[in-house]
Every structure is written in C-alpha cells, then in structure tokens.
C-alpha cells in the first residue's frame, strides 16, 4: 500500500524546540515549541502575520532558525536543507502552486519522484501513477499544467509532494482560493492520506475545512503559540477568540 509502510516505521517524533526566527530587526517567531507524532494530523491557525508560514518554512528547511532546533524521526535536521529533509520524508506544499507549465501533469510529478529516494526509473514511474491516482489526477495526466484550473493545480501540488513518499507532509493553505465544493474534494483526498498513516501539518484559514481532518489544533499569534489541543477547545479559548476571531461579545 502506498506510503503506509514508510509512514508507520518512522522512529520518534517531529519537533521544533525553542525556535526563533528573525529577519534583520524583525522578530517573526519567538521561542516556539512544536511537537507531533509522525502519523498525527495537526492544524495551525491564527491571524495574518502570526508566523504560521514562517514556522512551516523553518520546519521544512527553507531557511534555518535564528535559534533553536528541528528534529525529524529522531534525527537533528536543523542544518539540513529542504531537499535533504525531503529525502528523509518531510515535504512541503506551497500556497500558490507553481508547476512547470509547459510540462504535462505526469511529467511534473515524475520530476518530483525522480529527485527523491528512488532506485530506478520504473520505481519513479510507479510512484507517479500511484500519486496521481490518490489525488484523482489520472484523467488529466497528459494535459499540460498550464491548462489546469486552480483545484487541479492544487491537486498537482499535492501529487508532486506525494511522489517523494513522505512520512510527514506540510500543507500551506492548500484550500486557499477554492470554492466550498472544491475544498471538500480536497479534504477527501487529504483524509485518504491520513488514513494511510501520512503525518499532516496543515495551515489553513478555512477553519471548518481544517477541522474535518486534524486531530489537534494549534493557534499562533505574534510569533507565539497561544493554544494547543483538541480543536473545539482551542477554538473556544478566550485568547484564540480574541486573536483569531477578532474578539468575543462585549
């Protein structure tokens, strides 16, 4: 079964400890502690500017933390690049899909598979077919990416990530810009990944979509985690209501 064996054998946890991130004099993350089981589904919410995407980028290896450490499956990966972390099973999708427009859907996913830990072209080919199938993209496998609508570009972004055979996948507002019905289609796909044992960290502004998938919810504000726990309890927390929902009743 695709992904289940790999996801289930990851030792330890995925965590960030005492993470700070500064860009010059601007402090974006302040002493953030993040930890999850390798097959857990965790949502991250918060107002714009809370530091959510910066945390995701730091965990994924897009840039190193100014202080603190990142561990993945029992290994310290703080100084490893995003590509190195990807080969270990940690992969990220981006809010705005950027496929290779002149390539077909199949070719886009093949590029991702061939640059991951594969032993042969046949293995890469198999991963592409399975990833496209999981994401419902086989019917458009031979279409150029430039012809795809937003939902299919989001699915392609997800399929490219899956072709690397991740243990944990980081989703950055993958539901952004979709209609409610389109978002529901994407939820169904992500629920399928969860059932296969793939760990999920998902930043999303569409909270009712997020709550259909995650086991646990984190709320950030001003570069800090202000609540972490069972989703309904987190959303009802007074600090979350004030920071994320704009304040409660007078």
Domain boundaries, the chain: 104-165
Please answer whether residues 159 and 186 qualify as being in contact, where contact means their C-beta atoms are separated by less than 8 angstroms: no
The stretches in the chain having pLDDT less than 50 are 1-10, 247-250
27 near 20, Cβ under 8 Å?
yes
**What is the distance between the alpha carbons of residues 127 and 2, in angstroms, rounded to a whole number?**
8
CA atoms within 13 A on the CB side of 166: 31
Q: Given this model, what pLDDT does residue 196 score? A: 87
Which conformational region is residue 157 in: left (phi greater than 0), alpha (psi within -120 to 50 degrees), or beta? alpha
Enter the pTM of the model. Answer: 0.88
Tokens found for residue 145? 């990416």
Residue of 119, 150, 121, 156 whose CA lies nearest to 136: 156
- Answer for the pair 193, 162: CB distance below 8 angstroms, yes or no: yes
Whether the CA torsion 54, 56, 61, 64 is positive or negative: it is positive
Q: How many CB atoms neighbour CB 181 within 10 A?
A: 8
Q: Can you give the pLDDT at residue 249?
A: 41
**Of 198, 200, 213, residue with least CA distance to 9:** 198
Phi-psi region of 160 (alpha: psi -120 to 50; beta: other; left: phi over 0): alpha
Kindly tell me the burial class for residue 172, based on how many C-beta atoms sit within 10 Å of its own C-beta (0-12, 13-18, 19 or more). Answer: buried
For 67-125, the pLDDT digits (tens) are: 999 999 999 999 999 999 998 999 999 888 889 999 999 999 999 998 877 778 888 99
């Amino acid at each position: 079964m695709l992904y289940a064996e790999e996801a289930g054998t990851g030792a330890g946890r995925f965590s960030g400890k005492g993470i700070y991130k500064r860009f010059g004099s601007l402090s974006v993350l302040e002493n953030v502690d993040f930890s999850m089981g390798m097959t857990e589904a965790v949502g991250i919410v918060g107002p714009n500017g809370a530091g959510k995407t910066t945390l995701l980028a730091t965990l994924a290896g897009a840039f190193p933390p100014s202080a603190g450490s990142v561990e993945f499956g029992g290994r310290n990966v703080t100084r490893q690049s995003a590509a190195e972390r990807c080969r270990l099973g940690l992969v990220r999708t981006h809010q705005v899909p950027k496929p290779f427009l002149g390539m077909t859907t199949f070719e886009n996913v093949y590029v991702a598979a061939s640059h991951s830990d594969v032993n042969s072209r046949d293995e890469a080919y198999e991963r592409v077919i399975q990833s496209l199938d999981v994401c419902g993209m086989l019917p458009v496998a031979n279409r150029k990416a430039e012809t795809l609508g937003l939902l299919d570009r989001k699915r392609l972004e997800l399929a490219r990530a899956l072709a690397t055979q991740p243990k944990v996948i980081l989703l950055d507002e993958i539901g952004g810009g979709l209609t409610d019905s389109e978002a529901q289609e994407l939820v169904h796909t992500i629920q399928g990944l969860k059932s296969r044992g793939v760990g999920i960290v998902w930043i999303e502004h569409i909270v009712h979509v997020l709550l259909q998938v995650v086991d646990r919810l984190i709320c950030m504000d001003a570069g800090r985690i202000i609540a972490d726990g069972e989703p309904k309890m987190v959303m009802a927390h007074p600090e979350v209501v004030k920071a994320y929902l704009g304040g409660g009743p007078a």
